[in-house]
């Protein structure tokens, strides 16, 4: 493997050191050792280590694909740090205040007041958010899938997925493809019930 060149300052002392210890293979070894140490420290943490130990290590998780979004660098650094903080449970929830910081607060969710306010509860378990933010998140995701499919099959769409105007119900088609958006569809295996909602069929 070809190692990257050192990005440090180019001084005389640095050049002498590079001759002895800074050979590319050594730099690569040092870099790998630092990453390994950071990884072990992260995994050893009781709270933050839950994500790598209980999620990333699952056999059905493709870590390469799961972090592809991060390598594209299409989001701001603020948003990126917030996402990683949520993944690591590093969010000041009421449950965290009650159980970890031992503060005298009610650890229940501030919206529904039914379940403990954990990161997992806020992301996907709160009944109050289910009818609003979770629906919006679902619709955004489906809209993005719609936009990707439309582009792939040469159906005209906006240059940015979130600017696409979605009319419900909507049918877009060309000579080879037909995309249905928010169309009631009968599922035979569900006793002929009709499913509605922004889902895509192609
Ligand atoms: Zn709640």
Per the CB < 8 A criterion, the answer to whether 132 and 148 are in contact is no
CA atoms of 52 and 152, how far apart (whole Å): 34
Residue 130 has pLDDT above 90, yes or no: yes
Alpha carbon of 120 to ligand 1 centroid (Å): 10
Distant-in-sequence, close-in-space partners of 162: CB < 8 Å, separation ≥ 6: 140, 143
Q: What's the confidence (pLDDT) of residue 187?
A: 54
Q: So where are the chain's domains?
A: 23-71, 138-202
pTM higher than 0.85, yes or no? no
Residue whose structure tokens are 């965290």: 96
Alpha carbon of 89 to ligand 1 centroid (Å): 16
Alpha carbon of 63 to ligand 1 centroid (Å): 30
Q: How confident is the model over 180-201, as a mean pLDDT?
A: 57
Alpha carbon of 123 to ligand 1 centroid (Å): 9
Q: What is the DSSP string of 101-134?
A: S--SS--B-TTTSSSB--HHHHHHT-HHHHTTHH
Alpha carbon of 130 to ligand 1 centroid (Å): 9
Alpha carbon of 117 to ligand 1 centroid (Å): 7
Query: Per-residue pLDDT tens for 45-100?
Result: 888 888 888 888 888 888 888 888 888 777 888 999 999 899 888 899 999 999 98
- Which secondary-structure segment (H or E) carries 31? helix 24-44
**Closest C-alpha to 90, from 56, 150, 46:** 46
Alpha carbon of 60 to ligand 1 centroid (Å): 29
- Better pLDDT: 62 or 202: 62
Alpha carbon of 111 to ligand 1 centroid (Å): 5
Backbone φ and ψ for 114, nearest 5 degrees, come out as -105, -45
Alpha carbon of 66 to ligand 1 centroid (Å): 27
Query: Per-residue pLDDT tens for 168-186?
Result: 777 888 888 888 887 776 6
Most confident of 53-62, 102-111, 138-147: 102-111
Alpha carbon of 57 to ligand 1 centroid (Å): 28
Alpha carbon of 20 to ligand 1 centroid (Å): 59
């Amino acid at each position: 493997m070809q190692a990257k060149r050192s990005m440090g300052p180019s001084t005389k002392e640095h050049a002498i050191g590079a001759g002895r210890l800074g050979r590319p293979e050594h730099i690569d070894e040092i870099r790998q050792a630092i990453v390994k140490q950071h990884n072990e420290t992260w995994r050893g943490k009781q709270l933050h280590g839950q994500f790598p130990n209980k999620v990333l290590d699952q056999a059905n998780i493709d870590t390469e694909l799961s972090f592809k979004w991060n390598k594209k660098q299409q989001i701001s650094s603020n948003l990126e740090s917030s996402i990683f903080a949520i993944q690591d449970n590093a969010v000041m929830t009421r449950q965290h205040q009650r159980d970890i910081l031992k503060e005298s607060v009610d650890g229940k969710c501030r919206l529904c007041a039914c379940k403990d306010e954990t990161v997992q509860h806020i992301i996907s378990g709160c009944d109050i958010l289910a009818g609003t933010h979770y629906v919006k998140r679902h619709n955004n995701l489906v809209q993005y899938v719609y936009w990707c499919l439309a582009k792939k099959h040469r159906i005209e769409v906006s240059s940015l997925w979130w600017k696409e105007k979605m009319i419900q119900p909507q049918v877009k088609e060309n000579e080879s493809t037909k995309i249905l958006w928010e169309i009631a569809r009968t599922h035979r295996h569900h006793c002929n019930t009709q499913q509605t909602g922004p889902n895509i069929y192609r």
